Amino acid sequence: MSRAADTAQLSPLHAAVDVGDLLRVQALVAAGADIEERQHYDAYGPPCTPLFRAAKKGQIAVALYLVERGADKEATTRNRTPLTVAAEKGYINIVRMLIEHGANKDDALDGLRWTPLLGATYHGHVAVVEYMLEQGCDKDRVDYNGYTALHWAAECGHFKIAQLLLRFGAKLDLRDNSGRTPADVATLHGHRHIADAIRAEEIRRRDHGFKRDRSTIEGAEEHAASKRPRAEREAEEAAAAAADAAADESDDDDDDDDDEEEK
C-alpha cells in the first residue's frame, strides 16, 4: 500500500499527526477530536493513539502538544509505550520531552520485556542511551532471555554504548539465560574490543574497589548533578570559589610570615 493510500485510510486527526501538521492537529482537537482515538498504525500495524503515532514518526511538536493537552503517556500499542518506541527510533527530543513530562522510563510491558534503554541500546542510539543513564534509568534490567543493556551492546558491537554503561556502573557479572556474561557475549560475536574493555573494567573494580572507580564516580556525580536545582548548584559553586579564594589568601599570608622569619 502506498504512502498516500495509507494516509487516506486514517482519520483526520491521525492523518494530521502522521505528517506533523500541528496547526491541523490543533484545529481538530479544538473542534472536539478525541486525542486518545485509536487507529491502525498502517495497513498491518495494531491500533495506536495519536501520541504513539507522533512518537514513532518523530513528530516532536505534535507530540509535545498532545502531551500538554493531557494525552496518556503510558497508553500502549502491542505493550509498547510512546517512550519505548521513541527510544527505539532514536528520537532524543521526544525521549527527553516524555521523560520531563513524567513518562515511566523503565516500562517493560511487551513480550520481550524491553525497557526504553534496552531498545535504544539494541538499535545503537548513543545519545538516547546517555540521556537515559543520566536520568537514572535501571541499567541492569533484564529482558526475556536474561540480557541486560550491556549484553546487547556486547552482541551488537556498540562500543560507545558499552563504554557509557561501564562508566555508569553497569554490572559486569550478570548472566543471561544461557549462563553468559556480557564479556562472553562480546567474545562470542567477535567483538573482542568490547570484551577487553569489560575485562579491563573488572580488573579496575577488583583492584581499586568499585566505589572508588573514577569512571563510576564521575558518572554518578553527573547523574546527581543533573537532578539538583540549578540555583543550588550555582550557590555551591560560588561557595566553593569563595573558599578557594580564602585559602589562597591564607597561603599568601603564610608565605609572608615565612619571609619575615627568614629575615
Same domain, 223 and 179: yes
pLDDT-derived band of residue 9, with 50, 70 and 90 as boundaries?
confident
Maximum CA pair distance of the chain?
Answer: 95
**pLDDT for 230:** 52
Is 263 part of a structural domain of the chain? no
Is 182 part of a structural domain of the chain? yes
Same domain, 4 and 86: yes
Looking at 67, 84, 104, which one is the last position of a domain? 104
Same domain, 130 and 224: yes
Same domain, 120 and 243: yes
Contact 103, 83 (CB under 8 A): yes
Would you state the cell numbers that stand for residue 83, as one nine-digit string?
Answer: 517512550
Same domain, 181 and 215: yes
Same domain, 122 and 228: yes
Is 32 part of a structural domain of the chain? yes
Is 226 part of a structural domain of the chain? yes
Q: Where are the alpha helices (DSSP H) in the chain?
A: 3-8, 12-18, 22-30, 50-57, 60-68, 82-89, 92-100, 116-123, 126-134, 149-156, 159-167, 182-188, 192-208, 214-227, 230-262
| Pairwise CA distance, residues 181 & 84, whole Å | 25
**pLDDT for 128:** 98
Same domain, 49 and 93: yes
| Pairwise CA distance, residues 193 & 25, whole Å | 48
Of 148, 116, 147, the C-alpha closest to 132 is: 116
Contact 87, 132 (CB under 8 A): yes
Is 262 part of a structural domain of the chain? no
Tell me which DSSP letter residue 40 carries. E
Q: Could you tell me the pTM of the whole model?
A: 0.75
Same domain, 148 and 242: yes
Domain that holds residue 197: 113-248
| pLDDT over 70 at 250, yes or no | no
Contact 107, 87 (CB under 8 A): no
**pLDDT for 133:** 97
3-state SS assignment for residue 69: coil
Same domain, 189 and 143: yes
Is 253 part of a structural domain of the chain? no
Per-residue model confidence as pLDDT tens digits over 53-98: 999 999 999 999 999 999 999 998 888 899 999 999 999 999 999 9
Same domain, 47 and 81: yes
Count how many domains the chain has. 2
Is 176 part of a structural domain of the chain? yes
Residue 64 belongs to a domain with what CATH number? 1.25.40.20
Per-residue model confidence as pLDDT tens digits over 203-214: 999 887 655 444
Per-residue model confidence as pLDDT tens digits over 155-178: 999 999 999 999 999 999 999 999
Looking at 104, 127, 147, which one is the last position of a domain? 104
More confident residue, 197 or 46: 197
Is 130 part of a structural domain of the chain? yes
Same domain, 118 and 244: yes
3-state SS assignment for residue 98: helix
| pLDDT over 60 at 223, yes or no | no
Query: What rounded mean pLDDT belongs to the chain?
Result: 83
Same domain, 120 and 241: yes
| pLDDT over 60 at 243, yes or no | no
Looking at 61, 85, 104, which one is the last position of a domain? 104
Per-residue model confidence as pLDDT tens digits over 112-138: 788 999 999 999 999 999 999 999 999
